Amino acid sequence: MFTTKVDWQRANHDEALIIGVWSDRKKLEGYVKEIDEAFNGHITQLFKEGDISTSYKALSKLHTFGIIGAKRLYFIGLGRKQDSSYERIRAALGKVVKEIDRDQRESVSILLDTFTTENVAIEQMAHAFSEAILSASYTIQHYKERSNQRDVWLKAVTVYTKEEVNRALQEGAVFGAGLNTARTLVNTPANLLTPSDLIGTAVELAISSDMEYEVLERADMEKLGMGALLAVSQGSVEPPKLFVAKYTGGEKDAPYLALVGKGVTFDAGGYSIKTATGMVDMKSDMGGAAAVIGALEVIGKLRPQTNLLFVIPACENLINGAAMKPGDVITSLSGLTIEVKNTDAEGRLLLADAVTYAKQLGAHAVVDVATLTGGVSVALGDCTTGAVTNDETLYHQLKQVAAHEGELLWLLPSHQPFKDMIRTSDVADLTNSSGRLGHAITGGLFIGTFAGETPWVHLDIAGTAFSARPSDLGPKGATGVMVRTLARLAMQWQAE
């Protein structure tokens, strides 16, 4: 889809040419000056009269009437260069891509060097553009009589630049595809995405990437003693699954990083049933698994020299005569017993067994990602993912890559009183719920108990995985949060 060229004046068939314009420019220069000269200075006049705005994310369109090869110019305002950042430029690119998609343009080009800033490398801008081409044009499938599914309008993309950016363009497109895979999984209704369907997608990607994989069935879990995962699944006729893929891109004796994602494809809360309004979007309770699957897709295509495990426990949390009940005591794979105080605190039960299993498979470090608690949304809103860790070094690596990808993280405290709260059961080693106080923290620390001494970070995406508002990079609904961060961490992973 992507082609790189230097001479924009040979663009004879592009329907849209994207140009970045800065508000603190003193005069037209480079490509924009060349275009202005082709228009006999009229572009300068349009700037002076305000018909082309340089304000951040302001979009101005101009038909060329055959004066140059491209049919239309799309000027996107970038604001002041001193305020520039990777995420600001990516958002601006997302806005112009959305407009081009609405305009149904089949071929688009960009003067990438017009986005140049000291704050963001040209390779990052190329990555941001190709990622935005896929992510900003993403649409949610609906099931109305009149389908919204259409052929992708955009057929060809040309990048004009004096720099070598082909690798960055490829990488950005792969990231965008992985992000969209995660979004689609989360947006799919639960009756059309059972645990078997979710794991089936992971299996397909593992096969296409030539990764070793296994899928544990109920009988396998019973034999191994995965009492926590099995307990959650008891309320549904859909069988539980546990998927593991192994990627060995580095030395065989090099350490493995495990990415573990919660895969509850629908969460009614069990006997601690959710409210009607609180239940309606619970098809999204497998957002952690979707993020891991999206990262798996990225890794499978880019093939970094790292060693990775992808672990996804999947089931439904429903109610029937066999469902687990408040007060039940279950035995996890680790041997630790758990008193179930709240059946709606089920994600940590799946992850308890999944993290234990990842350790048994040889994981040197673990990152789990889950739509775990409503409390994280109360604390951090819908823009920031909460984190809990037992290892500052691993968290620092994760925070750095999250910042690189423009995804916001906040580390929650792990003080001893919080740890004590999950050991208040009179009849079991642990309780799966110690009440409302600090429950985003205690939920994470519950999982951390099973990580033990293994370096571990927990990411609670309950507030960030699903949005009621569209963004410049996509529609409302699933956000695909943490796909970029997990993929980037996996690509750069090394034990310290």
User: Is 368 assigned to a binding site?
Assistant: no
Q: Name the helix (H) or strand (E) containing 441.
A: helix 439-451
57 among known catalytic residues: no
Q: Name the helix (H) or strand (E) containing 309.
A: strand 307-317
Phi/psi at 126 (nearest 5 deg)?
Answer: -65, -45
Exposed/middle/buried for 470, CB within 10 Å: 0-12, 13-18, 19+?
exposed
Chain centroid, CA 315 distance in Å: 21
274 among known catalytic residues: yes
59-67 contacts, C-beta under 8 A, 24 or more apart? 59/95, 59/96, 59/99, 61/99, 67/38, 67/39
User: Which of 57, 274, 325, 419 does the annotation list as catalytic?
Assistant: 274
Contact (CB, 8 A) for 245 and 298: no
Tokens 């080009």 found at: 109
User: Which of 72, 241, 348, 488 does the annotation list as catalytic?
Assistant: 348
User: Is 57 assigned to a binding site?
Assistant: no
User: Is 382 assigned to a binding site?
Assistant: no
Exposed/middle/buried for 10, CB within 10 Å: 0-12, 13-18, 19+?
exposed
User: Is 285 assigned to a binding site?
Assistant: yes
User: Is 346 assigned to a binding site?
Assistant: yes
Distance, CA of 133 to CA of 94 (rounded, Å): 7
Comparing CA positions, the residue from 330, 355, 354 lying closest to residue 227 is: 330
102, two tokens = 């609405």
In the annotated binding site for Mn(2+), the residues are 262, 267, 285, 344, 346
In the annotated binding site, the residues are 262, 267, 285, 344, 346
- Residues that are catalytic: 274, 348
